[in-house]
A and B are shown apart, each in its own frame.
Chain A
Amino acid sequence: MITKIISTAIPLPLKNIDTDQIIPAEFLKATTRKNFGKKLFFAWRNKKNFVLNSKKFFGKILVVGYNFGCGSSREHAVWALKDYGFQVVISSYFADIFKNNALNNSLLPIQVSEKILQKIFKIINKDPKIKITIDLANQQIIIPEDNIKEYFYIDPYKKICLMNGYDDIDYVLSLKEQIISFERACHSRESGNP
């Protein structure tokens, strides 16, 4: 259940970060959702100057460039980010499947304008210890020291799920009767069985 997250943030200002970078395919052989955090951004972690290796930046919020999470549908990317300790990813654009996966795992994907994103990068770089507040109830991202108070959009249904810890499957399971009557009613429309 999420209502408010207050944390310092880690900047990774690259565009088009694909899910192969977030978690390479060689680590997708696990059959549970655990322990992917160690492999997060695996290829980049070997580089000394990679931001996750820096002591300067830390926190539960990852701030990334445009079109984050493109490519493969692997939910392991979200599991890795969560397991590493991230609760929020801020970007100016998210790939569709990644965004769905994030929302299904209580990782908040927060989309802001490119202008605000660049401003946030600047603020974090200037003061890595600055705290960012994500107020889910009011859908606001707040950095008081820099007069930032930005509205962000979130699907209203997903907002309720995140705030209450609800699960998509339980909701759809509760619709079983409707699904069964749908099957009966449109049996004739199913392409293989007209």
Chain B
Amino acid sequence: MRKPKTLFEKIWDSHIVLQKKNYPPVLYIDAHYIHEVTSPQAFDILRKKKIPVFRPEKTYATADHNVPTINQHLPIKELLSRHQVEILTKNCQEFGINLYGLDHPFNGIVHVIGPELGITKPGMTIVCGDSHTSTHGAFGSIAFGIGTSEVGQVLATQSILQNKPKTMKIEVNGKLQKGVTAKDIILYIISHISVSGATGHFIEYTGSTIKSLSMEGRMTICNMSIEAGARGGIIAPDEITFKYLKGRLFSPKGKKWDRSISYWKTLTSDKNAKFDKVISFNASDIEPMITYGTNPGQAIKITGKIPKNVDLKYMNLFPNQKMIGQKLDLVFIGSCTNSRIEDLRSAAKIINNRKVAKNITAFVVPGSNQVRAQAQKEGLDKIFLSAGFEWRQPGCSACLGMNEDKIPSGKYCISTSNRNFEGRQGPGSKTFLASPLTAAASALTGVISDPRKFI
């Protein structure tokens, strides 16, 4: 009998070009995403070696990390950012790569546009010079972040030398409480297994709770796998996946679609497949979560108190302090974790004709031009604007503060992004990670607030 395989192993094994003793396996890559920040030095490698991009039609480029989120039709004011975006455009022209640049209706955050264009599909291997490439695993693909030297390798060969990671299964079962979202699930998981709990592993998320999530929710979960140290996260594709993909620009059509579906349906872990590690959680134990420290594992339920024996100097908070009621200065709804249409809908619903508190600067940065257009079609922009939020153009924005959207030094920001590292959102910035529901509720009160009171 054939050895039972995990979903990860099935895709991994089917993409091995060569496995030689004492050499890492050579893994074929189906789709390669690039952006302006981690690609320039990779193209230089090709130029230096005088070689072309091997399969330019399998690389997709966008400008997202350093772009302004206001007046994108004007030249980028910040010179270094402008230069970097120009270099990306030049490189894409020179090497024949699809570019969804700032002027393109499909422009947006790389991990938002890949799925929404239907480039990301079940069974694929996907890489990008960005750690949140794990997002694409939500479709049942092997997707992981790589460094710039590896970007060069994939451009040159459409393959990557990569040692096989271990496998980990994280099961979440049961019904979620009201006001608890995918973001709360993943923050809860990381708070239990720590920021290094999954290092060296690829996580498969499964269980009834995960299966009940929308594609947007699944992307949020897989997105933050890296915050637990994992190489990536993966979720078996199902009807929800197929429904999401049907009719998208790069999705297969007609007979090809039917053949794809029958292949995609084989993409599940075999019944007796062995994982190196298995961890289970109950959905009913999960409440809206919030971080208090400077790594994403330092998260507690929103009604909780900050634990003792942690270094709170940078955050200027206190042991035993309640999180609810903590004063805020800014609210950021955006990033590759939570800037998709469902995130914006849920945040808009919380607002319900209320206004942003006077002490708060709040802004919404949709994940892509397509998300933005859809939100405007549904009137969400008006809801945000009349509540006092700013309604911006797409980009990574204040998640990493590479553009002008920096959180000022010493200010507290509740953010739907993925990292609360020291200075992540700008030098001296202090970040609380939370769901779009919690961020929206807190924008209305001006302090950290329980979203369940607003539903």
Contact = CB atoms under 8 A, between A and B. Distances in A.
B369 interface: no
Interface stretch (A50-58, A112-120, A129-137, A183-191): A183-191
B415 to A, nearest CB: 14
A71 B227 CA distance: 7
Contacts of A105: 149
Contacts of B130: 72-73
Interface string A44-74: 0000000000000000000000110011111
B33 interface: no
Given A73-B146, A101-B147, A104-B150, A29 B84 contact: yes
Contact of A24 (B18, B24, B264, B423): B423
Contacts of A157: 22-24, 161
B197 to A, nearest CB: 10
Contacts of A78: 147
B196 A93 contact: yes
A73 B131 contact: yes
A97 B83 contact: no
B431 to A, nearest CB: 11
B422 A73 contact: no
Contacts of A179: 17, 26, 28, 54, 157-159
B83 A175 contact: no
A1 interface: no
Contact of B124 (A32, A75, A101, A192): A192
Contacts of A33: 41
Given A71-B131, A71-B421, A95-B229, A168 B66 contact: no
Interface stretch (A3-11, A13-21, A82-90, A145-153): A13-21
Given A20-B421, A178-B17, A155 B252 contact: no
A17 to B, nearest CB: 10
A26 B41 CA distance: 17
Nearest to A171: B161
A176 B226 CA distance: 31
A95 to B, nearest CB: 6
Given A100-B150, A169-B49, A32 B41 contact: yes
B199 A67 contact: yes
A32 B48 CA distance: 13
Contacts of B343: none
Interface in B18-52: 18, 22-24, 26, 28, 30, 37-38, 40-41, 44-45, 49, 51
11 contacts: A20-B424, A28-B37, A72-B400, A73-B130, A96-B165, A104-B150, A168-B150, A171-B161, A172-B159, A182-B18, A190-B123
Interface of B: 14-15, 17-18, 22-24, 26, 28, 30, 37-38, 40-41, 44-45, 49, 51, 54, 65-66, 80-81, 83-84, 87, 121-124, 129-131, 141, 145-150, 152-153, 156-161, 163, 165, 195-196, 199-200, 226-227, 229, 231, 250-252, 256, 259-260, 262-264, 295, 400-402, 419, 421-424, 427
